[in-house]
Each structure stands twice: as structure tokens, then as C-alpha cells.
Amino acid sequence: MTTLLNAGSEISTAALAAIAHMPTASLPVLVEAGFIQRLTDADFMRVAVLLAQKSFDEGGCPIGAVIIDNATRRILGKGHNTLVQENHPYHHGETSAIRDAGRIDFSRTTLFTSLSPCEVCATLLYMRGFPRVVVGDVTNASGTEPLLRSKGTQVDILEDPHG
């Protein structure tokens, strides 16, 4: 099978949108490791913002999240908020990404979220052992960064200029 994105492919909004919209399980088949390893933190945040846009387009809260393996940079899980669409109080972007990743050891991962996590998600992130969380927007919702830091989680703020 031919890959969709390879080491020589341009890292563009279209390429990142393709990653955001294809099933996570298909990524290792359709996207070469050489392409994924070239992605920066800003690129992963861009994918989270594109997932937030997907939620907004569906009539939901615009929040998206991506989980990567720190060593390989491979995307392990991604998701967007479906609280409104599915009428479920805990279908947040972060919980959707964790569900998508499955039962893995999160202690060697980073979670990128387009918006500062709510208290429920922040608690889940430190309980699951995420060593690092990258937050895209703290202007519209903030407050859990100190909670995460107090539990030993590294929190970085990386606003997406397009989001």
C-alpha cells in the first residue's frame, strides 16, 4: 500500500487536516514515520485545533486533543469534544483522545489540547500519569494549569496562531 504522507511530503495545513480526520489506527499505514518525526509541537497543536474545528462544525464545543509517544512522536490517540452531539457530560476532547489511545502507559506521552482542560480532565490527566500537557488557549478558559503543575505535570502553553 502506498502511504499518503512520506518523509518528503510538505507539512501543510492540508496534510495536518488529513491526519486529524483519518482514524488513528490507520496512521501507521498511511503516514510514514519519517513524516511524523518531522512534526513539531506546533504541528501537533495544529492537529488539535483542527479537531476542535471538527467539533464546532458538528455543533459541539470546539475542543480537540492529540496524544503522542514522546520517543517516536507517533500519534497514539486523538479526539474532539462530543458533549453536545452525544449528550454525554464526559465526552470532552481529552477524554476522547484517551479513549482512542486505549489502555496504554501514558507516562511516556504528551497530550496536546486546544483549550485549557476542565477540572475533571485535568484530574484524569494527572491520575493517568501524563508527564506533559501542552495547552493551546488559556485566554478563554484557564485555571487548571497550577493544579497540573502541583501534581508534577509539565504544562506548556503553545497558542496556535490559526486557531
Q: What is the CATH number for 59? A: 3.40.140.10
> Could you tell me which residues come within 8 angstroms of residue 92 by beta carbon, excluding any fewer than 6 positions away?
63, 81, 83, 117, 118, 120, 121
Contact 47, 27 (CB under 8 A): no
**Residue 34 included in any domain:** no
Q: How many domains in the chain?
A: 1
Q: Which three cell numbers stand for residue 86?
A: 452525544
Q: Is residue 15 domain-resident?
A: no
Q: Is residue 77 part of a domain?
A: yes
pLDDT in tens, 21-42: 999 999 999 999 999 999 999 9
32 belongs to a structural domain: no
DSSP 134: E
Q: Is residue 81 part of a domain?
A: yes
Catalytic sites, residue numbers: 94
pLDDT value of residue 161: 76
User: What is the residue range of 100's domain?
Assistant: 40-157
Strand partners for 134: 112, 156
Amino acid identity, position 4: L
Q: Considering only 18-27, 124-133, 141-150, which range has the smallest mean pLDDT? A: 141-150
Q: Is residue 162 part of a domain?
A: no
Count of C-beta atoms within a 10 Å radius of residue 146: 11
Sign of CA dihedral 9, 94, 76, 29: negative
What is the β-pairing status of strands 75-80 and 64-69? antiparallel
pLDDT 10s digits, 82-114: 777 777 777 899 999 999 999 999 999 999 999
Angle at 21 between CA 132 and CA 109, to 5 degrees: 15
With respect to residue 70, please indicate whether it lies within any of the assigned structural domains: yes
